[in-house]
Amino acid sequence: MSFIFSTPKPPPAPDYAGAAREQGAANVETARLEGRMNRPDVYSPYDITTVTDLPEDRFRQEYTLRPEYESQRQKQVGITDKYLDTAGNYLGGLPQETFSLSGLAAQPGLIDRSGLTALPTMEDINTYATRVEGDYYSRALERIQPQHQQEIIDLQTRLINAGIPEGTIAHNDALAELRIAHQDTLRGLASEAIRQGQALADAQLGRATGMRSYQLSEAQGLTGERERIRDRQLSDYLLSRSQPLSEIATLSGQAPPPPNIATTGLDVPATSIAPPPIFAGVQAQGLDASQRYGTAMQGYGAKMAALGSIVGGAASGGFSEGGAFGSDKRLKKNIKYKSKSKSGLNIYEFEYNWSPQKYTGVMAQEVKKVKPSAVSENIFGHMMVDYNQLDVNMERV
C-alpha cells in the first residue's frame, strides 16, 4: 500500500537527439531553398545570366554578353593576343646557352705583400739606435777630451803661478772640482747621444713604415680597379641577359585588360530564410516540463514536511503504538547500524525522508519477524512499533 501523498512522477526526458536530427534536416532544406531563391535568372541591358539546378545541390550558371558588348570584348582579346605574340617572338630570340661567368675577368685575390718594403724589427731598431749612440758619443768625445786636458794644464799653471804647489790640499781640491765638471759634461754627452740615437731610429722606422703604407695603398688601388672592371663587366653581362626578359614581362604584363563593360545592371536583393526552430521548441518544452515537475516536488515536499511535524510530535510523546508512526523502514533514509539490544534487536541511526533530524531506533520490518505483537499498521499502510514492548527506546540524536 503506497503513502497517501504520492510522489510526483518526473516528466519523460526530451528527445534532444531526435530534435537535433530534425533540426539538421530542416536546416539543410532551408539552405537549399534559400540557395534556389538567391540564384535568379538576371537580364540586364548588358548581359544575361541564367541558372540551371543540377543534382546533388549543384547548379550551373551561364553568363553571356549582349552582342554589341561581346564584339567589344573580342576586339580587346585580339589586341591582347598581339601583345602576347610579340612577347613570344622575343622569347624565341633569347640566348639558349647556360648562364656562365667564365668570360669575365678573374676575381682579384688577396693583395700580394711579398714585394713590399719589409718593416724593421724592434731588434733592428735597437741595434741601429745603439750604433748611432756610440758613433755620436765617440765623435763628441774626440772633440772634448783635448779640451779637457788643456783645461787641466791651464788650471795647474794658474795654481803654481798663484803659489799653490802640487800636492797641496788647495791644489788637489781645484783639480777634483774641475774633473767633476768634466764628468758632468761627459754624462750630458752620453744622454745627448742616446737621444740622438733614438731620434734617428724613430725616423728610420717612420720612413720604412711610410714607404710600406704607400706601397700597400698602391696595391689596394690596383686591386680595387680590377674589381671595378669586373663588376662593370658583370653588370653589362647581366643587363644583356635581363633586358630581353624585362621587355617580355612588360609586353605580357601590360597587355590591355579586358573591356570595362557594365554587366548585371539589375540589383537583385538577397533573400534570407530562417529554418523552423525545432530544436529550440523541444528545449522550451523540456524546460517547461522540468519547471512543472519542480513545482510539484515543492508541493510534495511541503506536504511531507507537514506530515513530519506530526510524526515528530508523536515521537516526543513516547512513541507508543498510537504514536509510533515512523518506524517503517520505507519512511527512513541514511540508515546506519549502531548496535544490538539485549534481546538481539538491531539498533540503527536514521533520518526521516522529510527531515534532517537524526534518531536511533529499530526497523519495523525486523521487529515484526521476532515480535509481531509490537508491530501494527496505520491508516496509510505503514508499520508502527510499540516501543513499550521492546528493550529499545527511540531517541533523538
- Residue 308 is predicted with a pLDDT of 54
Distance CA 314, CA 325 (A): 7
315 pLDDT above the threshold of 50: no
Q: Which three cell numbers stand for residue 364?
A: 519495523
Give backbone dihedrals phi and psi of 335, rounded to 5 degrees, phi first.
-80, 125
Residue 303's pLDDT band (boundaries 50, 70, 90)? low
Exposed/middle/buried for 392, CB within 10 Å: 0-12, 13-18, 19+?
A: buried
Confidence of residue 327 (pLDDT cuts 50, 70, 90): confident
Q: What is the pLDDT of residues 356-392, one digit of tens each?
A: 999 999 999 999 999 999 999 887 788 999 999 999 9
* pLDDT higher than 90, residue 217: no
Spell out the residues 6+ positions from residue 393 whose beta carbon is closer than 8 angstroms to its own: 319, 361, 387
Cell of 382: 505503514
Q: 270-285, pLDDT tens digit by residue?
A: 778 788 888 888 888 8
Structural contact between residues 193 and 133, judged by C-beta atoms closer than 8 angstroms: yes
- Residue 26 CA to residue 16 CA, distance in Å, equals 15
- Residue tagged 783645461 (cell numbers): 151
Quick one: DSSP state of residue 374?
G
**pLDDT of 323 strictly over 50:** no
Cell of 61: 550558371
pLDDT at 344: 94
331 neighbors 352 (Cβ within 8 angstroms): yes
Q: Are 384 and 362 in contact (CB under 8 A)?
A: no
State the first-to-last Cα distance of the chain, in angstroms, to the nearest integer: 30
Percentage of the chain lying above the pLDDT 90 cut: 29
- Name which of 193-207, 237-251, 274-288 the model is least confident about: 237-251
- CB-CB contact of 387 with 347 (8 Å): no
Cα(278)–Cα(178) distance, integer angstroms: 136
pLDDT digits (tens, 9 = 90+) for 64-95: 889 988 888 888 888 888 878 887 887 777 77
> Tell me, what's the pLDDT at 279?
84
> Looking at the predicted structure, is the pLDDT value of residue 174 above 50?
yes
pLDDT per position as a tens digit, 22-61 = 888 889 888 888 888 888 888 888 888 899 989 988 989 8
Tell me: pLDDT of 21 over 70: yes
What would the pLDDT profile of 337-353 be if each residue is shown by its tens digit?
999 999 999 999 999 99
> How high is the pLDDT of residue 215?
81
Mean pLDDT of the chain: 82
pLDDT of residue 5: 56
Q: Please enumerate in sequence order all residues whose Cβ is within 8 A of that of 230, keeping only pairs 6 or more positions apart, or say none.
A: 104, 105, 106, 107, 108
pLDDT > 70? residue 6: no
**Cα separations in angstroms, 39 against 55, 65, 213, 262, 352:** 15, 18, 85, 20, 70
Ordered DSSP codes for 278-336: HHHHHHHHHHHHHHHHHHHHHHHHHHHHHHHHHHHHHHHTT--TTT-GGG-GGGEEEEE
What are the CA-CA distances from residue 257 to residues 73, 81, 89 (Å)?
Answer: 10, 11, 21
Using alpha carbons only, give the angle 24, 29, 33 rounded to the nearest 5 degrees: 145
Going by pLDDT thresholds of 50, 70 and 90, the confidence category of residue 181 is: very high
Q: What is the pLDDT of residue 316?
A: 43
- Which stretch, 137-141, 271-275, 287-291, 302-306, has highest mean pLDDT? 137-141
